Amino acid sequence: MTADPTSPLAAWTDRLAALAPALTVAERPFRAQLTVRVSDPSAIEAMGSALGVAFPPVPCTFTSGAGPFGAVEVLWLGPDEFLVVAPPDLQIPLEDALRAARGSARGSVVDTSAQRTTVVLEGSHVRDVLAHGCSVDLHPSSAPVGTCVQTLLARTGIILQVTGEDRFTVLVRSSFAGYLAAWLSDACVEYRT
C-alpha cells in the first residue's frame, strides 16, 4: 500500500493562514509541469493547438486557457524554453500530446512536475511583501497581469507570474518551499494589523 503524497507546505497550513489579512497564501501542489524546449515556429504552433492554448509569443509573459487537458498555462521562460502547467496527474498524456505535436522538429519535452510546488499569493499588500525580497519591479506599469519572470525571491530561485491586480503565483522548488514560507511569515509582520 502506497501512502498519499504530502505537499511541500503541508506543515505550514496554519502558519500561512495566520498571515491574513495581510496576505492570503494557498498552495496548489502536485500540478503537472512540463519543460518544453523548441524553437521551430510551426512546432510551437502545433504544440499550442494540441493543448488548446497558444504558446506565448512575447518574452516574459504567459498564456492560459481551457482545452482538452483542462485549465492549462504556458509560461515563456527563455527564447526557446516554455513551461506547461496543468492540473495534477496529466503529465503522461500531456507529454505524449506535446511530443506528437512537435513532430520531427528539434527539441525536448521533459516532465518536471516533482521539481516545484505552486503557491498563490493574494492581498492588497502582496506587491509590498514581494518587494522585500525580489529585485523585479512589480509596479503594475512594469509588471502587468500576464507577466512571467524567473527571478530570485529571498535568494530562492522562483518563477513569478502576475495573475491578477493583487494576485501572484510563485513556482518554487519543493525543497525550498518551507524556507519561502518562513520568509513570507517574516516579511508580512509589518502588514498584519
Which CATH number is 163's domain given?
3.30.1360.120
Residue 2 lies in a domain: no
Whether residue 103 is found in the same domain as residue 41: yes
pLDDT tens, position by position, 58-68: 999 999 999 99
Q: How many of the other CB atoms lie within 10 Å of CB of 100?
A: 12
Mean pLDDT along residues 103-128: 96
Residues 35 and 106 in one domain: yes
Question: Rounded to two decimals, what is the model's pTM?
Answer: 0.94
> What's the total number of domains in the chain?
2
Secondary structure class of 78 (helix, strand, coil): strand
Q: Are residues 127 and 161 in the same domain?
A: yes
Paired with 84 in beta bridges are 34, 74
Domain extent, residue 169, equals 12-29+115-188
Q: Would you say residue 5 lies in a domain? A: no
Q: For residue 193, what pLDDT is reported?
A: 66
Q: How many CB atoms lie within 10 A of CB 127?
A: 18
pLDDT band at 192 (very low <50, low <70, confident <90, very high): confident
pLDDT digits (tens, 9 = 90+) for 141-150: 999 999 999 9
149, part of any domain: yes
Q: Do 52 and 99 reside in the same domain of the chain?
A: yes
